[in-house]
Amino acid sequence: ATVLASVVAAGIAQTERLEEVRRLAYTDALTGLANRRAVDSALDEAVERHRREDVVVSLLVCDLNGLKQVNDTHGHAAGDRLLERFGSVLSLCGAMLPGALAARLGGDEFCLLAVGPAADAVVKAAEELCRRAGELELGEGVACGVASTEDPVGPVRSARRLFRLADAAQYRAKAERSAGPVVAGREGPDDPVVRLADEPSREEDGERRRFRGRHSP
């Protein structure tokens, strides 16, 4: 009985260690949010559900403004605190959307993935995110872009296209220093965000950033 109990205990401990390894593989160490790997997996599954079941999938992508200045002026410890506090704000706003995945993609880039809630609900959460980010003690707010399969953005048959749409919206929000989110597809049939997302990938005036990770061209 003693030997059996030891074997069972060792098995339980091994299972717990494996679960912890899996958790860490999909978690951002600084903020405790999901990481890019988790988003890639969840976004692929979400878009596949959209294709099969026509479920609404929305992606919010945002860049935290002023992080470099905080690092240069106050030190990297202050920059890390800003990232952590913004991560908490993102989680709080994500709670407005049942089942939403809040993640840090890397550096100063974050996202929310929502499967099911209406596009307007995601935009409302994005507006709240922008408002709260502007109230943080450090930093300069956030540039936020939203893309949803419920909006007139054309067919979304891949995770890559939805990511490009949200990223193009975020790019425009940053370029215009918008205080609120920019939403893909809401400026009519010739929406500039949709056109930007669907252009052949290239650097524009040395400013347009390339997509990173698995979604890179």
20 and 64 co-located in one domain: no
43 & 121 share domain: yes
Give mean pLDDT, residues 196-206: 65
Q: In angstroms, what CA-CA distances link 116 with 46, 101, 192?
A: 9, 12, 26
Provide the CATH number for the domain around residue 172.
3.30.70.270
Three-state SS letters, 120-138: HHHHHHHHHHHHHHHCCCC
Residue 142 clears pLDDT 70, i.e. is over it: yes
Kindly state the tokens that stand for 37.
């790997």
- Number of domains within the chain: 2
3 and 76 in a single domain? The answer is no
Alpha carbons 210 and 86: distance in angstroms, whole number: 24
Residues 167-184 have a mean pLDDT of 95
Are residue 1 and residue 70 in the same domain, yes or no? no
Q: Are residues 92 and 193 in the same domain?
A: yes
Are 26 and 38 found together in one domain? Answer: no
H-assigned helices in 109-191: 119-134, 159-175
Mean pLDDT within 101-106: 95
Task: Tell me, yes or no, whether 20 and 95 share the same domain.
Answer: no
Q: What is the pLDDT of residue 151?
A: 97
**pTM score:** 0.82
Contact 32, 24 (CB under 8 A): no
Q: Residue 100 carries which DSSP code?
A: P
pLDDT in tens, 21-32: 455 478 999 999
Pair 36, 20 in one domain? no
Q: For tokens 């809040």, what's the residue?
A: 102
Instruction: Give the pLDDT score at 213.
Output: 39
Domain shared by 82 and 6, yes or no: no
Look up tokens 């450090």; give the residue: 138
Tracing tokens 């550096």 back to the chain, one arrives at: 107
Tell me what pLDDT residue 6 has.
56
Average pLDDT, the chain: 85
Q: Which of 93, 125, 90 is nearest to 110 (CA)?
A: 90
Q: Given this model, what pLDDT does residue 216 score?
A: 37
> What pLDDT is recorded for position 51?
95
Instruction: Average the pLDDT over each of 3-17, 64-78, 81-95, 174-188 and give the range with the smallest value.
Output: 3-17
**Better-predicted residue by pLDDT, 3 or 84:** 84
94 with 125: CB under 8 angstroms? yes
In this predicted structure, what is the pLDDT of residue 206? 37
Residue 156: domain span? 31-215
Is residue 18 domain-shared with residue 55, that is, in the same domain? no
For residues 83 and 4, membership in a common domain is answered with no
Residue-level pLDDT at 185 = 95
